[in-house]
Amino acid sequence: MVEFIEGGITTPQGFKAAGVHSGVKYRSLDLGMLYSEVPATAFKAFTSNKVKAAPVQLMINDNSPKLSAVVVNSGNANALTGRRGYEDAETMQKAVAKELGIDPKTVGVMSTGLIGRFMDMHKVQYGISRAAKELDVGRNADGLLCESIMTTDTIKKECAARVRLQDGTLVYISAISKGSGMISPHLKALHGTTLTLITTDAVLTSEFSHEFQRTLDDSMNMVSVDGDQSTNDTCIMLANGLAGGKPADKDENFIEALRMVMTKIARTIAMDGEGATKLITVEVNGAKTKDDARLVVKTVINSPLVKSAIFGSDPNYGRVMMALGNSGAEFNLEEVHLVIKGGDLEVPILDSGAPVFQEERSVEVVRMAMDNKEVILQLDLGVGSESAVGWGCDLTYDYVRINAEYST
């Protein structure tokens, strides 16, 4: 049984964290570090955007199977910075390695912030030196690392859980993430930024990489705030094995725990979308293929018209059907069912492709359902048995304001 607990990134055995102010940002914490006391098996996934930031390029080129530390900065994405940016990412890697006495190839690098600005390496190296000295365990250290990676985020995104494996071993899984804009991840293993770190003291081998990708496909890759995939999206999972026991590669309890942790993180990212006031959950059933189900989810979530309607609690379900029709997925209009849920209300909208209601009073019930912090759209495509679920947020005036003023 999976149990969510009060905890953070250092909850699993053998992990330490720190977050400091290096000066890249004017006042806020802007540099964080995660350290494993023993080299950890690393599972990495990166943006599929062809314009990749320097840290992403470096990590792909290194592709080390083990990591001992990860350094992350906010305030500067180190993207579109050419050869100098790549060398700056290498310098960050080497600086951490020197401070901790480890191999530079076992240091991961992540960055987020403004694109097209060179790093101030004097400040970054100062921050790395401070962070290495302040590595610690516990909720304060967890919080400092969370805060150091935030940009337009308004809340810390962290989650911890414990689960007993089938061999009786008790293991912990924790995750932190940042992201509120430029978010539509398409993370691919071994290949708004959303930066995500996952720690576990379970024993895992390289065989788990396929399950790691499947977990991402059903969680982080089903989040979309604005449909724009970042140049810096990175997800790193470290498994240091200090809990002992057998490898958990195929342990159903561990797999379920990881999926639950990552789903919770994904929902939190969507809820904290830039300017968001509502969480949108789209559940698709009856699809012919898994790809079709995922495609419909992302198309509906990314539709500016759907997002605007939900922001205004406008019961214009035609926008949902418009998005379905534009998705390219196969469906049978005469068998399509649409339900809108919010709060305690569950309102059937379409039954076999025809409207369930016409009266103004019924329209008001739909409006009431949409006037909740979470609005759930349930679609049955009527052509198969595959399903998918994803999360997004409404499109508000504040989203435009935040992104119109981002660099200033």
| Cα 205–chain centre separation | 23
Enumerate the β-bridge partners of residue 281: 376, 391
Given this model, what pLDDT does residue 184 score?
A: 45
Helix (H) or strand (E) holding 279: strand 279-287
Q: Which residue is catalytic, options 151, 193, 215, 396?
A: 193
Query: What is the C-alpha separation between 157 and 309, in angstroms, rounded?
Result: 27
Unique residue bearing structure tokens 């790193």: 236
Report residues of the chain scoring pLDDT below 50. 181-185, 189-192
Query: What is the C-alpha separation between 370 and 339, in angstroms, rounded?
Result: 11
Active site (annotated) includes residue 193: yes
Beta strands in 288-359 (DSSP E): 337-342, 345-351, 354-355
Contact 180, 272 (CB under 8 A): yes
Given this model, what pLDDT does residue 186 score?
A: 54
